Amino acid sequence: MAENVVVVQPGDERAQKIARAMASQTANAVIQAFGGGPLTSSEVARAMGIPITTASYHIENLLDAGVLEVMETRWSEKGREVKVYGLANQVLIIAPPASDLESVLKKYAMYFGIVALASIGLWGVLPALLPVTQDSVPPEPRLASGAGGEEISTFGVPLDGAAGAPPVHDLVMSFFLGACAVLIALMAYEIYYWWRTSPRGKEERE
């Protein structure tokens, strides 16, 4: 039986069923009784010393809430069907109400604006933080004269110190693209979660 993740929001039908099913100490004791493995309603009643009608009542509520599930069906010596119950193999997550799509897009538009401003700030700050050193200037194999008498390398780049400029463009672009990739991934997940928890998304999955 594969483990699955169930996301519920406060106030929705599933959350209300779980709250009602676990509202009493007896219900919590019934859940603890299943910690040792699957049981029938009569086995739960005997283990807890309560009437079988009480055990069956709480089991049905927990079954309807999805906390318990039917593991197998047996047949008694009298030919009666006996169900064996066990704890549902799932992870239950209580999440805040899903936000609307417009608010999600506005939030990430603000984040992208912050990243753009931070990139512009880095563009202005990095040249001061990355001073040109002698080691940063690559050796030029040969020199030639340009049309105006200016010395240029064999690659056509003037030797006025430009070759030793720090790679500010590469650093800023790496930061900008990396931050955008993270934001896009987070936004895609949040949009998917919004669709998954929206009434329309639930109807399409059903």
SS3 200: helix
Could you tell me the pTM of the whole model? 0.43
Backbone angles phi, psi at 52, to 5 degrees: -65, -30
Reported as a single tens digit per residue, the pLDDT across 77-127 is 777 888 999 988 776 666 555 556 677 778 888 888 888 888 888 888 877
Residues of the chain with CATH 1.10.10.10: 4-94
Reported as a single tens digit per residue, the pLDDT across 32-89 is 899 888 999 999 999 999 999 999 999 998 888 888 889 998 887 777 888 999 988 7
Q: What is the pLDDT of residue 46?
A: 92
Cα of first residue to Cα of last residue in the chain, in angstroms, is 21
CATH number belonging to domain 4-94: 1.10.10.10
CA distance 15 to 66: 10
Looking at residue 109, its amino acid is A
